[in-house]
Structure formats: structure tokens, C-alpha cells
Amino acid sequence: MSIDKVNGVLWSSIVKVTGVVKANIAKVGGASVVGDADISFDDITLSSAVQTINPSTSFTMTLPTTAGTGDWVLALFTIDSPVSSDVINDPSGWTLINTSTWGSSTSDAHIKLWYREFDGSEGSSVPITSTISSTRGIVAWTMVVSNIDTANPISAVGNPSISIGTVVTAPSVLVPDDGTFICINAFDGSDGEPFTYDNSSFAFTDGGEDDASTGGSGVSSAWKYATITGGTNTDTTLITAQVSDGKVAGHFALKKL
């Protein structure tokens, strides 16, 4: 549990609490203070498989074991798929961040982004289904996000970029609020990783990278993040794979508390 106010005053406006400077205070009344802290990602949980997915056979996306009531949880879902349309069903109770699936029959890989503020009814995993039946490689991450503005968590969502080759360039996006932006990519095949991320304006922190593979149904995916100041452009991010194939990438940003 964390707090952003003390006696109704924002933590960012407080200098001292009972004579102690706030830089030396980690908790007030047993609750962690957030205030000026950057967004952080905790208990990052990976789910990966090559399996059949259809309207009645689901992929199990595991949730962070530490997530509880009041936590804000982010889910990053990537799948190998040669279809051009959106075939992944959004799980009940989760909010879609990108307005539709990022990806096409050219990328042969797709990305969906969801979030949910937990109320205690979530359980330990989320079933993800498809409108069609196919055997696909799937890689997904879930995580608890701290120091985020849960009332208005999404600061910006960029456009996806799709290419064939070794390089894909995620388009820049203007981020209006202080927070953190994430760049994510999905590659058609398990042989794309390790990926190299290059952004001329930001140094990324590694979030995760993994692959799922069987024959031609594999997928390899990665994501990284950086702190950003409001009113700043993310600049473009060049993502280089180990081999040439279809791929998709994009940026989105979370608003700091």
C-alpha cells in the first residue's frame, strides 16, 4: 500500500513531516510514500507457449503473485499470426491500451496491451482466447506498476510500425505528462532475438525479452522503457533483429502519479 498525500497535502509539496525532511522518510503510518518517485515495474511475470488457441481453448496469461487489491497491473501480449485482422479477444475486466491489435499479415506478429486496477477478484491468471483456431507462439508479460496515476494512467499511445527485414523503427510520439514510455516489438519467428534498441534521446532499461518456437509458428518479443518528462517527444526507436523477417513495434507512455 502507498500514499501520495499526508493530511490532505500532496507529498510533492511537503518539506518535512514531524520535523523530519521528506528525503529521509520512506513510510508514513506504515504506508510507503510515492510522491516524486518515478514509475516502477515490479514482479514482472512471463508467460510463454506454443499452443492451439481458439474461442474455447485459451492461452493462460499468468498474473504477478504479489498483485492485490488496489494494484495497477499492465499486460503486454504478443503472438505470431499471419492474419491481417484483430483475432485476439480482450479479456473481461481489462482495458485495451492500443485501440486495436498492432500487426498485420505483413508483420506476421501482433501486439495487444491491456491494464487493470485490481479489486481482489482476478485470481492467479487470465485466459486469452482467439476468434479463430490456430497453433501459435505466444509471449506475454504482466507486472505491477507503482507510482502511476491510476485515474489517468495512459499519457500517450503511438502508431505501430510494420516492416520486413532486420530493422523496424517505432515512430516517435509526443508525451504530454511526466512518466515512463515503453517500446515493444514482436517478430515473426523465434530467431529474432536478441534485439538491439537504439533511441538517440533516451537510454532504455531492459524490461524483458523471450521467444516461443515450434516450426513456423514461433514468435520472439521484447520491451524496454525510459523515464520521460512531459511535453517531450520519445524520438524514434530503431529495433534490430538477428535475421530478416516480419515484425511490428510501437511506443506508449504511462502517466506518473
In tens, the pLDDT along 168-190 reads 999 999 999 999 999 999 999 99
99-127: average pLDDT: 94
CB 56 within 8 A of CB 129: yes
CB 71 within 8 A of CB 150: no
**How many other CB atoms are found less than 10 A from the CB of residue 60?**
15
Tell me the C-alpha distance between 252 and 250, whole Å: 7
Phi, psi of 22 (to 5 degrees): -65, -25
Residue 84: CB partners within 8 Å, gap ≥ 6? 104, 105
Task: Give the range among 9-18, 54-63, 133-142, 234-243 with minimum mean pLDDT.
Answer: 9-18
In tens, the pLDDT along 73-84 reads 999 999 998 887
Tell me the C-alpha distance between 125 and 142, whole Å: 10
State the pairing for strand pair 2-3/31-33.
parallel
pTM for the whole structure: 0.86
Residue 18: CB partners within 8 Å, gap ≥ 6? none
In tens, the pLDDT along 187-239 reads 999 999 999 999 999 999 999 999 997 655 689 999 999 999 999 999 999 99
Paired with 208 in beta bridges are 223
Q: Is the pLDDT reported for residue 21 higher than 70?
A: no
Q: How confident is the model at residue 99 (pLDDT cuts 50, 70, 90)?
A: confident
The DSSP result for 159-176, as a single string, is: --EEEEEEEEEEPP-EE-
- Going from N- to C-terminal start, the domains of the chain cover 2-33, 40-255
**How many other CB atoms are found less than 10 A from the CB of residue 120?**
10
Question: Which of 141, 170, 132 minimizes the C-alpha distance to 54?
Answer: 132
Q: Is the pLDDT reported for residue 1 higher than 50?
A: no
H helix runs in the chain, sequence order? none
Tell me the C-alpha distance between 111 and 239, whole Å: 15
Residue 127 identity: P
CB 81 within 8 A of CB 108: yes
Tell me the C-alpha distance between 57 and 133, whole Å: 9
Q: How confident is the model at residue 86 (pLDDT cuts 50, 70, 90)?
A: confident
Residue 151: CB partners within 8 Å, gap ≥ 6? none
